[in-house]
Every structure is written in structure tokens, then in C-alpha cells.
Amino acid sequence: LARLRRRLAGSDSPLSRGLLALISRDRIDEDTWEAFEEVLITSDLGVGPTTELVDALRSRLRVDGVSDPARAREILREELVRLVDPTLDRAVRADRGDTPAVIMVVGVNGTGKTTTVGKLARVLVAEDKDVVLGAVDTFRAAAADQLATWGDRVGVPTVRGAEGADPASVAYQAVKVGIEQEVDVVLVDTAGRLHTKTGLMDELGKVKRVIERQAPVGEVLLVLDATTGQNGLTQARIFRDVVDVTGIVLTKLDGSAKGGIVVQVQRELGVPVKLVGLGEGVDDLAPFDAEVFVDALLD
Ligand code: GDP
């Protein structure tokens, strides 16, 4: 947690500065509130959540007659945590039943899908789980190579098909191997070419259906790149229409991005952010924690 905090910490965020500007005046006028709202919106918090937050802050600051910056910051923190929602169940479902737990990882190419699969495999192996990877992106040979490299690094086998093979048949094969070898988890890395929405829908839908002939898919994790801001929201909407997403992985939070998109994306999809990517290394994946996240936003 300390590492996450340190990595996310910029010096003195615009949010904290905005808040300070608010309460350092004798009288908070409309212009000041508007300026603060703008800070929130440019932090990718979204218009709806921003309005909610400002309304809550206004009434709480007024009712309590708050003039102490530390107290105001505490209130802002509480309201932000409430927006991010600490009550959501963020556990990744990776326990096998009669068949291996199947986790599909989806997202646009370049967001960090394959890297996330590798890191997640590492986490599961550290929990003493047997894991098989499925390289379902048969469109690019390099994609399967990259996944297999991760498999070698983490010490788990990768099932792959010939270049141009039917993605669903490779997914089927990966789950078949998982069942035969009685592994705990099959992690399926999918293709993320946004050629056309129907193309993607057909492909991911078929992959999922074919897998489910053998074992239920317990998780569909959508990978979003935190540095792309509102773009992440657009991608989330597309994938929501294509496949039933059960959780979000927000990558590249080690950069300058603060990930203000979290609240909007969670609301849009009705599913929680479960994991965050904090770098390119094998151990750079962490569970999402609402409190730690908000502290980083405010740092
Ligand atoms: P994919 O096309 O979605 O499978 O994306 P990749 O897994 O190939 O990742 C694309 C690039 O993003 C690679 O250079 C990764 O090393 C990098 N990457 C992935 N996750 C993270 C992260 O959490 N932080 C940083 N800094 N880079 C990441």
C-alpha cells in the first residue's frame, strides 16, 4: 500500500490545491465553486459525480462551518471515498469448482492486456494455484509469443494456436488442457482489435460461448489504460455492449495519470475496478483499494 501511495503521489494535487483555494477565502462565492468543479471535471471525475461531490461538500462545509483546511480535506476525502464506493466486492474470482475457474481478459490492444495476464498469473501462482494461459489473439503471432514469454517467466504453460487459427478453437483448447490437467485457473488473453464493433462482438461472444461448453467463465476483466482519460470510458461502453464485463483493471497508474475515470467507469458498467497496474514488471499488479486510491488522488 505504501508503494502504491508513493507511486501515485504527485506533489500536491490540483484537487487539494482547489480545495485549499475554496476554504482559504472568507466567503466562498459561486466563482470559487465553479473553479473547483472545473478541477474535478478535468480530473476525469465526470460531470455527474462532480455535481454530487460538490453538493455534498457544500452542505457539509456549510453545516459544520468548516474553516480548518485539515478538516475540509478530511471531508473531501470522505466524500471521494464514498463516490469510489468502498463497499464493492473487488475480489477476483479464481477458485475452481468442478472445472477450472476461467478468467477472460479483454480490452483494446495496447492497454496492457497481455502484461496484466502475466502479472495476474504471477499472483495466482504465488497463491499456490495451477494456471494455464490461453493465447487467443491468433491474428498477430507476436501477441502469442509475448504471452508465452510471460508464461515462461511465471512458470506456467501457454496454449496457443497457429497464426490465423479460429480464436474460439484456441480458447476451447486452452480450457480443455486446463480440465485435463486439473488446473485451478485458465487465463484467457483475447484480441482487442476494434475493427468493427460487430466484429469484436462476434469474436468475443463466440470465444465465451465456446469456452462455456466446457466450463463457466467466472470473470471477464476489462483492461483500461488510465492515461487515456475519457477514452477509457468510450472503450468501456463498447465492451459493455459486446460482453458481460465483471471487473475492471486500470493499468499504467504508475505514470502521471491519477485514474479519476474510476468513478464514471464503475457506474457506467455497474462493476468495480478490481486491480491496478503499477508498472511493466511482473510484480506490478495490486488489488484496487478505494481509500488508498483516494489518498493518491489527494496527494
Ligand atoms: P495489450 O496489447 O493490451 O496486450 O498490451 P500489452 O500488455 O502488450 O502492453 C502494452 C504496453 O504497455 C507494454 O509496453 C507494457 O509493458 C505496457 N504496460 C502494461 N501495463 C502497464 C502498467 O501498469 N504500467 C506501465 N507503465 N506500463 C504498462
Distance CA 37, CA 41 (A): 6
Q: Is the pLDDT of residue 5 over 50?
A: no
Give the strand pairing for 185-189 and 158-160.
unpaired
Contact 7, 295 (CB under 8 A): no
Evaluate if residue 122 carries a pLDDT over 90.
yes
Cα(50) to ligand 1 centroid in Å equals: 30
Closest CA to 93 of 84, 102, 105: 102
Average pLDDT over residues 256-268: 87
Scan for cell 462532480, then name that residue. 50
Query: Probe ligand 1: pick from 254, 258, 280, 283, max atoms within 8 Å of CB?
Result: 280
pLDDT: which is higher, 286 or 5: 286
From the alpha carbon of 119, which atom of ligand 1 is closest?
A: 20
> Per-residue confidence at 40, pLDDT binned at 50, 70, 90?
confident
Pocket mutation for ligand 1, best pick of 105, 115, 252 (most atoms within 8 Å of C-beta) = 115
Question: What is the number of the ligand 1 atom nearest to the C-alpha of 115?
Answer: 7
Question: Residue range 100-128: average pLDDT?
Answer: 97
Ligand 1 centre to CA of 161 (Å) is 23
Least confidently predicted of 47-61, 214-228, 276-290: 47-61
Least confident of 26-30, 167-171, 244-248, 258-262: 26-30
Cα(202) to ligand 1 centroid in Å equals: 25
Cα 278 to ligand 1 centre (Å) = 10
The ipTM is: 0.99
Residues near ligand 1 with C-beta < 6 Å? 107, 109-115, 192, 251-252, 254-255, 277-280, 284
- Which positions ≥6 away from 63 have C-beta within 8 Å? none
Q: Could you tell me whether strands 285-287 and 273-277 are parallel, antiparallel, or unpaired per DSSP bridges?
A: antiparallel
Nearest in space to 194 (alpha carbons), one of 171, 228, 162: 228
Cα-to-centroid distance, 29 and ligand 1 (Å): 44
Confidence of residue 29 (pLDDT cuts 50, 70, 90): low
What pLDDT is recorded for position 145? 94
Cell of 23: 476554504
Is the confidence at residue 124, as pLDDT, over 90? yes
Q: In this structure, which residue's CA is closest to atom 26 in ligand 1?
A: 279
Ligand 1, closest atom to CA 107?
3
**Distance (Å, whole) CA 170 – CA 84:** 37
Residue nearest to atom 6 of ligand 1 (CA): 112
Work out the mean pLDDT of the chain and round it to a whole number: 88
Centroid of ligand 1 to alpha carbon of 111 (angstroms): 6
Please, which residues have CB within 8 angstroms of residue 70's CB and are 6 or more apart in sequence?
Answer: none
Cell readout for 17 is 490545491
Judged by average pLDDT, the poorest of 1-15, 28-42, 97-111 is 1-15
pLDDT, tens only, 47-101: 899 999 999 988 888 777 776 777 878 888 999 999 999 999 999 999 999 999 9
For residue 282 the three cell numbers come to 511482473
Nearest atom (ligand 1) to Cα of 189: 4
Q: Taking residues 207-236, what's their average pLDDT?
A: 94
C-alpha 113 to ligand 1 mean position (Å): 7
| List of residues 6+ apart from 31 with CB closer than 8 A | none
pLDDT tier for residue 32 given thresholds of 50, 70 and 90: confident
Q: What is the pLDDT of residues 131-169, one digit of tens each?
A: 999 999 888 889 999 999 999 999 999 999 988 899 999
Spacing, Cα 110 to ligand 1 middle (Å): 6
Is residue 4 very low, low, confident or very high in pLDDT (cuts 50, 70, 90)?
A: very low
DSSP lists the bridge partners of residue 277 as: 285
What is the percent of the chain with per-residue pLDDT over 90, rounded to a whole number?
61
Atom 12 of ligand 1 has which residue's CA nearest to it? 112
Q: What pLDDT is stored for residue 146 in this prediction?
A: 96
